[in-house]
């Protein structure tokens, strides 16, 4: 896996095993925000461990851009307390087909049920992330 520190607060992780898919992490005052989880559990676990150390255990959220396996298979390697953010259709699709797919990716004793991860909450239809400009 390739990783790069883009800025002081932003990290880019790229899987070299599958279609160069990415995970981006942003370090915020509230904790780490990660975008997508990568397809391979080993890579996702490495990222989750690195971010856990970098953020001193302060994960804030994991944003799933969509339900394709190359973005969600590593989902279960992140701490279960992480706020999972995804479009309602992404949640629906993961609940329909994701459990079977995750079962193929990882033994059940190491994987929580998707239903326990994919809490249903009503939120606004948009989410904004802003990074304050730093004084130089």
pLDDT tier at 10 (50, 70, 90 boundaries)? very high
What pTM does this model have? Answer: 0.72
For the chain, which domains are there? 2-114 (3.60.15.10)
Of residues 44 and 97, more confidence is placed in 44
Q: Using the predicted structure, report yes or no on whether residue 112 has a pLDDT greater than 60.
A: no
Please write down the HEC assignment for all residues of the chain: CEEEECCCCEEEEECCCCCCCEEEEEEECCEEEEECCCCCHHHHHHHHHHHHHHCCCCEEEEECCCCCHHHHHHHHHCCCCCEEECCHHHHHHHHHHHHHHHHHHCCHHHCCCHHHHCCCCCCCCCCCCCCCCCCC
User: Percent of the chain beyond pLDDT 70?
Assistant: 72
Q: Using the predicted structure, report yes or no on whether residue 42 has a pLDDT greater than 70.
A: yes
User: Mean pLDDT over all residues of the chain?
Assistant: 75
The pLDDT of residue 50 is 87
């Amino acid at each position: 896996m390739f990783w790069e520190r883009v800025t002081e607060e932003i990290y880019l992780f790229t899987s070299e095993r599958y279609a160069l898919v990415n995970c981006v992490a942003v370090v915020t005052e509230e904790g780490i925000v990660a975008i997508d989880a990568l397809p391979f559990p080993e890579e996702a676990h490495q990222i989750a461990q690195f971010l856990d150390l970098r953020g001193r255990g302060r994960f804030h959220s994991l944003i799933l851009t969509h339900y394709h396996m190359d973005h969600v298979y590593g989902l279960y390697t992140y701490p279960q307390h992480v706020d999972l953010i995804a479009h309602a259709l992404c949640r629906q699709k993961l609940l329909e087909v994701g459990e079977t797919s995750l079962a193929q990716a990882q033994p059940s004793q190491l994987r929580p049920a998707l239903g326990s991860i994919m809490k249903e909450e009503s939120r606004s239809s948009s989410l904004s992330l802003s990074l304050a400009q730093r004084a130089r």
